[in-house]
Amino acid sequence: MAYVKMPKDLSKIKPKIALNMDKRQLIIAGIAAAIVAPIFFTLNSFLSVQQAGIIAFILLCPFFIAAKKQWSGLPLEKLLWYAYNIHFRRIKQRPYIPQGHYSTLVEQQELYEEIEKIGGKSDG
């Protein structure tokens, strides 16, 4: 009997909208077409159709690689956003702030000593 294997993690499956591409990939392909089409038609008036097509293909390749490839499970736009945050928005050197309990213990001991001076009984 024939059966179909279903993946256990269904969160990684993205619905395909058109041309076997999901929404994100279609948006990137539209941006690529909007950028490369005017360049192709401009080059077509100066160069032959083959040369303009090769240049347009070379310009399209980074867009399609960005649309199809994911690095460590993250798409390119998220990686670029994280890199922007790290290099430009966050402080370069974080100050060292110790999280020790010594100062709290010293304050507690001082409070116990003050209570003993007043005449009360302390547990410390």
Question: Could you tell me which residue, 55 or 11, shows the higher pLDDT?
Answer: 55
Q: What is the pTM of this model?
A: 0.55
Predicted pLDDT of residue 21: 82
Going by pLDDT thresholds of 50, 70 and 90, the confidence category of residue 15 is confident
> What tens digit of pLDDT does each residue of 89-124 get?
887 777 777 777 888 888 899 999 998 888 866 565
Domain boundaries defined on the chain? 18-92
Question: Could you tell me which residue, 35 or 12, shows the higher pLDDT?
Answer: 35
Flag whether pLDDT at 39 surpasses 90.
yes
Q: Which residue's structure tokens are 């690689």? A: 65
Rounded to whole angstroms, how far apart are CA atoms 111 and 72? 53
Flag whether pLDDT at 35 surpasses 60.
yes
The three-state (H, E, C) secondary structure of the chain, written as one string:
CCCCCCCCCHHHCCCCCECCECHHHHHHHHHHHHHHHHHHHHHHHHCCHHHHHHHHHHHHHHHHHHHHCCECCECHHHHHHHHHHHHHHCCCCCCCCCCCCHHHHHHHHHHHHHHHHHCCCCCC
